[in-house]
Structure 1
């Protein structure tokens, strides 16, 4: 029952954000403040995102899109809305390493890199694949995780699709601006429909608007654990270039510090541990 309630809460939150437009909240738990934004073209007053500026401000702003469990999502418990997940823990580790607080800015995925480049945030951690195209506009840390993509389907369809060829003529849901969207458009002979919010994408799958959803396998597995009637299929899709932290182009001092944190986390297998922990937590 808890799985169903938590999934419904995610969907309600997604609709609430769409209905309310821009919404700002503050959460000081775990030394992190949180704000929600639909993005914008104007740079804030604190547009300097270099390492010295971050230390002077005493905080580092993390941009993310919090509907991507187990990497980041809104955990609503006891009337409290908190953004949690693997990427948030990485952000906390970077902030601790720099000796500053972490502020989380939540916005639509397709607006993150534009927001980074106009100074709305200092870094982006959002299950972001370090593609060659994205690397033209931002700089990436070394990958902190390499996964693979999979298909999320309704339980009754789990035996229908085994390879990419089986997807011909289907309607496939993907998240706008992601590696799965690019891959699906290049490799699937199907009608690819891109939406901003993963919760809405999964809802359309359940409503039978979409025949399947294509996304990161960890995320597929998490949605399948949150809601009965869904199944995950490995269709042999190629993985992305690795999931990395993004910073503004030329922000080399900050990137060097982030790389040091990522290397330390990887040496301890901490990222894999967090993935397992938050996968288990989201499925409770």
Structure 2
């Protein structure tokens, strides 16, 4: 892949602040190869720009569902996954993953006025129906809740919040680093602020995915990521939080 003119980056382009779709090009965007006149922005896109510069190619986004990314990678339809994907043991069976380029945490949102709104620990949600996004840790982390009713997951984060607002579940999982953004996009949802040590134990990492056995490529990706300081990462993240669609 090193020196390849066009490097195809798989992502949803619907998972702000990691990635989202816009209609105009800017210094922050890359073209979406399979959607005419569309561009991708977000934290994943900024990471893709840095990596592809080191790889000697131009990044283009390939928009598709999160659950189809690994198959597309292994079928040769995309070259890299940079989509807020976590390196789980199950995924590592078929994908090679980089070191993390982001580390975050999980939380729960409820609807305003919910009887669970004053909860302070996960055990308060025993018997509650909780929903997450399909094929992500936002779904699997639900099993940390004792006695939970684990609702069948849905395909996207917007659909998760739609279900919560429609009252089809009691709570939904989310990535806490984008709490303000989710609240701005979904009026009427309230975050649960757990007492210390009473929330989810699991962290969520974002890792670059490439085809299994691409050791040389992974080594170059990890070397490039290591060269991005935490200060630079924080600045990019904060800028994406400010820029993401409302």
Q: Quickly name the TM-score band, shorter chain normalised.
A: 0.7 to 0.9
* 1:64-96 CA distance string (max 9 Å, x none): 122221111223579x74321000110111111
2:122 paired residue number? 164
Distance 1:208 1:123 in 2: 37
Residues 152 and 67 (structure 1), Cα distance of their counterparts in 2 relative to 1, 3 Å cut: farther
Look up the SS of the partner of 2:205 in the other structure: coil
Per the alignment, residue 214 of structure 1 pairs with: 173
- 1:36-55, aligned counterparts within 5 Å? 51-52=1-2, 55=3
State the distance in 2 between where 1:143 and 1:211 align: 32
CA distance in 1, matches of 2:74, 2:192: 36
CA–CA distance in structure 2, aligned partners of residues 207 and 213 of structure 1: 12
Distance in 2 between the 1:111 and 1:186 partners? 26
CA distance in 2, matches of 1:101, 1:207: 42
Matched pairs, number: 229
CA–CA distance in structure 1, aligned partners of residues 112 and 23 of structure 2: 27
Task: Compute the displacement of 1:248 (Å).
Answer: 0.7
Give runs of aligned pairs for residues 184-223 of structure 1, distance below 5 A. Answer: 184-188=142-146, 189-223=148-182
DSSP 3-state at the match of 1:245:
strand
Residues 131-157 of structure 1: per-residue CA shift (max 9 Å, x gap): 122112111111111110011222323
Aligned CA distance change for structure 1 residues 282 and 191 (closer, same or farther; 3 Å):
same
CA distance in 1, matches of 2:158, 2:38: 16
Taking structure 1 as reference, are residues 186 and 159 closer, same or farther at Cα in structure 2, changes over 3 Å only?
closer
1:271 matched to 2:233? yes
Q: Judging changes above 3 Å, is the alpha-carbon distance between structure 1 residues 228 and 241 closer, same or farther for their aligned structure 2 residues?
A: closer
What are the ranges of 5 or more consecutive residues in structure 2 without an aligned counterpart? Answer: 26-36
Query: Is residue 226–residue 282 contact of structure 1 (8 Å, CA) maintained in 2?
Result: no
Structure 1 alignment gaps of length 5 or more: 1-50
Q: Is this contact kept in 2: 1:60–1:101, CA < 8 A? A: yes
For the residue of structure 2 that corresponds to 1:127, the secondary structure is coil
Cα distance in 2, alignment partners of residues 186 and 114 from structure 1: 28
Q: Give distance in 1, aligned partners of 2:89 and 2:121.
A: 26
TM-score, normalisation: structure 2: 0.85
Specify the alignment match of 2:212 in structure 1: 249
